[in-house]
A and B are shown apart, each in its own frame.
Chain A
Amino acid sequence: MEIKAAVRQFILDNYLRGAQDQTLEDTTPLITSGIIDSVGVIDLLNFVEGQFGIEFMPGEIDRYHLNTVEQIHRIIREKLESKRSP
């Protein structure tokens, strides 16, 4: 599944259960808005790590840098790229 679609689906299934797909935009704030709380973020990161075979470092866990589908998508792509060309 495409990265963005997978992240979006996880968020809809777990934090906005039953909500219409269009209510979650790529730029909708997730953490600062309260849609996902600090522990919910951990579940999301665990999902992303398992799904895409990447690993986050403590310094990367920041509520302002993982706050939207777009930002999460970007960091996953960066990590996948650096994995391919070390």
Chain B
Amino acid sequence: MPGPEKRLLLHDYLRDTAQSAASCTAIVEEGRITSFGQLLGRATALSAALVQRGLRKGDRVALVLSKTTEAITALFSTLMAGAVYVPIQPHWPTKRIHAALEDCAPRFVMTEPTGGLVDQSACQTGRTDSLPLIVDRHNDNRVPFPEALEGSSSEFPEPALEPDDPAFILFTSGSTGQPKGVVISHRAVGAFVNWSAEEFQICKADRIACPSPLSFDLSTFDIFNMALCGATCVIVPDRVVWMPRFLTRFMNEQRITVWYSVPSILGGMLNEPEFARGGYPDLRLILFAGEVFPSQQVTRLQATVPHAACYNLYGPTESNVVAYHHVGQDFDSSRPIPIGKACPYAELMLDPAGREFQDGFWTGELLVRSESLMTGYWDRPAETEMVFTNVSGREGPPRRFYRTGDRVSLDSSGNYTFMGRLDRQVKRRGFRIELGEIEATLGRHADVLEVVVISSQDHELQTTITAFVRRRPHSSIAQGEMKAYCAQSVPSYAVPDHIVFVEDIPRGSRGKIDYAALRELDARRQGNGDQSGGAPVHS
């Protein structure tokens, strides 16, 4: 029987909803409809098949899958078995996928036969071609999804799970060149999902778009609100997400009521002539997070969809959403949109050790204490310790806060506003990129003596990444080859837009890299379409 305790586990949301609303639509994927009853049935059968094949509580299951009905089924089946799902984008470079697999050591890998991980000749033909394969990492057995489901029972010994047990691991950019896994518990994601369901009144009638990849924490809103509230999750195919014309039509045709994505996707739609004619009568709620949404763009968005409420959500992968701000129609568009105030399950503060009072505002690093916080980085206790800090209060023992690395300001009404990073992390379309990771990657090339990577933003806050590379003497490696080399290890969004070959990296009097000079050089290049990708330039 469902009770308050059971609802603390993510897969119990699905169980409860499938009981009360079995025939309601859970997932829509390009005309394919899956009901809650079907989703629960398939997830249970797959879970039983995995347990039968040796999956145990706490084991990892890597989902190297596109965002499909099967991937969502696999995710729930993993959770039901008490295991931890690790979503990995199949479009990531093979090297990165293997690095992630090596790091989290999954018991099973689910992958598409057309992905680079599986020998094509070993695949069957026909419909099952596009269905995932389950790869047993102990014996390398490969079983197609349908075969695993056949003869699988709907019953299996359920592992005893606690809300603090891990539910999934999300890989994010690491400054040393290796991606690191962020471990999130059932309780942590549940705090966000339960709050958002109530705050935004998510209900059975809602059709929530799912535009983000499963490896991106934004997708937890779409999938677990679907399961918790009985709403429909409408998968937005990848080829539609970034093509504004297609997306504009998709939102209307699919009668999307709730949208949650990075601002870049919405910003792209604003430039599409069809968007302004759209109407979107069903769209009632627009949530955005992951990067700064320029205020002028939000004004344009509100003018086109005045009936939809807009909210800015904030939180790094390590904490999921911990702050939110309702952007009213009358907001001051001459100022950046605040990240707002803490969600009820979170506590925010400026680092008391480094805060400053400037121009009437307190500014400093944002510290977070929250039920939604990660358990830690997978298998990286030292790195985990480094991002937490103890803050002593007036009374009681010191309390543990997560250091976001984000510099924020706090205004007199209690709203926080993002002002920038304290380190070299940048965001592009909401994806986190450590510039140090790109430097480490390019630096491994045999022809590279030295490399410095910088980023810049245009007036619409779009990020451009430029790598300044000092080549070995007589090396003739070209820009395209350097980009291709980089793309073997980092996702395409992290490949530099421009590679500039230089004879020297500019340095200050103490030998430190002169970033200001590089930025000036970059601005000059971008301004005049400079030709430095061919012949080396003198800094």
> A residues within 8 Å of B by Cβ?
13, 15-20, 23-24, 28-29, 31, 33-35, 37-39, 41-42, 45, 56, 58-59, 61-63
Contacts and interface: CB of A to CB of B under 8 A. Distances in A.
Given A38-B91, A39-B242, 6 more contacts: A17-B531, A17-B533, A18-B531, A31-B492, A34-B488, A37-B492
Nearest to B114: A64
Contacts of B492: 31, 34, 37-38
A19 B478 contact: yes
A29 B240 CA distance: 22
Contacts of B169: none
Contacts of B483: 15-16, 33-35
B151 interface: no
B246 interface: yes
Nearest to B265: A39
Contacts of B235: none
B291 to A, nearest CB: 13
B115 interface: no
Contacts of B240: 58
Given A33-B484, A34-B484, A16 B495 contact: no
A33 B531 CA distance: 22
Nearest to B264: A39
A59 B30 CA distance: 11
A59 to B, nearest CB: 8
Contacts of A58: 237, 239-240, 243, 246
B342 to A, nearest CB: 33
Given A16-B479, A19-B479, A33-B487, A42 B530 contact: no
Contacts of B43: none
B506 interface: no
A45 B243 contact: yes
Task: Select the residue from A17, A31, A35, A56 with max chain B CB neighbours within 10 A.
Answer: A17
Contacts of A23: 478-481
Interface residues of B, number: 35
Contacts of B481: 23
A58 B31 CA distance: 14
Interface in B520-539: 525, 529-534
Interface in B258-308: 264, 268
A17 B529 CA distance: 7
Interface in B402-436: 429
A20 B501 CA distance: 13
Contacts of B467: none
Contacts of B493: 37-39
B417 to A, nearest CB: 27
Nearest to A39: B242
Contact of B533 (A16, A31, A62): A16
B498 A17 contact: yes
26 contacts: A15-B483, A17-B498, A17-B529, A17-B531, A18-B479, A19-B479, A19-B533, A20-B478, A20-B534, A23-B480, A23-B481, A24-B480, A28-B480, A34-B483, A34-B484, A34-B495, A35-B480, A37-B495, A39-B264, A39-B268, A41-B242, A42-B242, A56-B243, A58-B239, A58-B246, A61-B239
